[in-house]
Amino acid sequence: MGIKIILADDHSVVRQGVSLILKSHFRDIEIKNASEFHEVISIMQDFNAQIIFLDINISGGNSTLMIEKIRKYNSKISILMFSAYEEDSYALRYIHAGAKGFLSKEASEEEMVEAVNSLLKTGKYFSSRTKEKMLDRILQNTPMNPVELLSDREIEVAELLAKGLGNI
């Protein structure tokens, strides 16, 4: 039985690059690509993937609700959030929502392979950085980052404000 992966990212070059890396390290691998969230759901109808690389900022998604929707179609899939967004600010939010890991787009090829191997063996992947944050949270019993206290909508509004958009 081969490895089945969905790559969900709105940038073609990212999907192509990740595909090349994964195919060079795993012999029996089948990869389906999605550039928008609705394509993820469509692919899942007849493709029983074990892992999904899911960009946080994908058209039609952009919130932790994507995880809930994916779980309706495949409760066993390992959702790996794959993002250029700051790991300290986003990883635990998505893991708490049900993702099985977070991989920065700045990760090395070796770390990407390690993430896939870990997801296949244990069903989860946490970078050393995220592990430290999780341990800090347990030991201090407090959120590490005030951004974690914000709702998905509050984060969306903050991102729009940062882009210079107002309420007019």
pLDDT tens across 87-115, in order?
Answer: 777 777 888 888 999 998 999 999 999 99
CA distance 16 to 18: 6
CA distance 142 to 37: 33
**Confidence (pLDDT) at 157:** 79
Please report how the helices 37-44 and 65-73 are oriented relative to each other, as an axis angle in degrees rounded to 10: 20
Cα angle 93-110-87, degrees, rounded to a multiple of 5: 20
Nearest Cα to 101, choosing from 36, 44, 54?
54
R_g (Cα) of the chain, nearest Å: 16
CA distance 74 to 66: 12
* Single pTM value for the model: 0.78
**Confidence (pLDDT) at 143:** 56
CA distance 168 to 162: 15
